Structure 1
Amino acid sequence: MIASIIQLLLSLLVIVSLWKIFEKFGEAGWASIIPIYNLYVLIRIVGWKPIKILLFLIPLYNIYLAYVLYRDLAAKYGKDSVGFVLGILFLPFIFLPILAFESEPVA
């Protein structure tokens, strides 16, 4: 029961963080709660062609693409170190709020 509540709170923190990141780039914040559309918006934010969303359907390659996507997103904030990007991948409830609430985009 307690683990479920903690998981819900961490998920809400990630959603709120993505909401704030989307708004910083002039996108609709509500897009962070729509599963595939939020990926599309992230792809637009980092400047990729929208067709790349189909590449996320390829198993294992999608893990690499997620790394590159988050690297490009972090680069918009000037935080594109390998450690920070891996932090976004494995601990998004810690690293996405850093982007959302402590940083401003530099690019």
Structure 2
Amino acid sequence: MESITDQASITGLMQDYGPAAIIWYVVVAIALWRVFSKAGYPGILAIIPIVNIFVLVKVAGYSAWMTLLYVIPIVGFIFSIFVAFRLGDRFAKGGVFSFFLLWILSPIGYLILGFGGSRYTPRR
């Protein structure tokens, strides 16, 4: 930050996108609450920012330690695809649903899983 105008630009940006980010987070938290409840985990864990990723990875059937793969730049990107496909498999959804609605448009996919008629089948 070299000048006061740079700081003002960041403040203005936060005023523009801050409410949209909060709305986005609330929608995702509501959707994950229902997904976690269907999977047998406490839904309240969907509200806690980093814990919800740990639980999502567990719902997908991986170990919670695998969540640490999200920290590695390229590996995290690829692992998110694996989590989306495994999560879709746990709720008896196909690959197209998993790719487009659980990876690319994840809030919509989570809403469909949570409020739809699909049932969770745990890992065997």
TM tier relative to shorter chain = 0.7 to 0.9
Partner of 1:87, secondary structure, is helix
Q: Which runs of 5+ in 2 are unaligned?
A: 1-14
Shift of residue 89, structure 1, vs aligned partner: 2.1
Shift of residue 85, structure 1, vs aligned partner: 2.3
Out of 51, 54, 67, which is 1:37 matched to? 51
Are the counterparts in 2 of residues 20 and 29 from structure 1 also a CA contact under 8 Å? Answer: yes
Shift of residue 83, structure 1, vs aligned partner: 4.6
Moved more, 17-26 or 36-45: 36-45
| Whole-Å separation in 2 of the counterparts to 1:59 and 1:4 | 25
Q: Say which structure, 1 or 2, has more relative contact order (CA 8 Å, 6+ apart).
A: 1
**AA of the residue aligned to 2:69:** L
Where does residue 77 of structure 1 map in the other structure? 91
Are the counterparts in 2 of residues 70 and 85 from structure 1 also a CA contact under 8 Å? Answer: yes
Say if 1:58 and 1:9 are closer, same or farther in 2 by CA, change over 3 A: same
Are the counterparts in 2 of residues 43 and 49 from structure 1 also a CA contact under 8 Å? Answer: yes
Identity of aligned residues (%): 25
Matched, 1:9 2:23: yes
Give the total of aligned pairs: 107
Are the counterparts in 2 of residues 76 and 106 from structure 1 also a CA contact under 8 Å? Answer: yes
TM-score, normalised relative to structure 1: 0.83
| Whole-Å separation in 2 of the counterparts to 1:7 and 1:50 | 26
| Whole-Å separation in 1 of the counterparts to 2:67 and 2:98 | 23
Q: Supply the RMSD in Å over aligned alpha carbons.
A: 2.1
Where does residue 10 of structure 2 map in the other structure? none
Moved more, 59-68 or 38-47: 38-47
Are the counterparts in 2 of residues 72 and 80 from structure 1 also a CA contact under 8 Å? Answer: no
Where does residue 69 of structure 2 map in the other structure? 55
Cα deviation digits, residues 8-61 of structure 1 (max 9, x gap): 333322110100000111111111111221111112212212221221110021
Q: Which runs of 5+ in 1 are unaligned?
A: none
Say if 1:27 and 1:3 are closer, same or farther in 2 by CA, change over 3 A: same
Of the two, which has the highest radius of gyration? 2
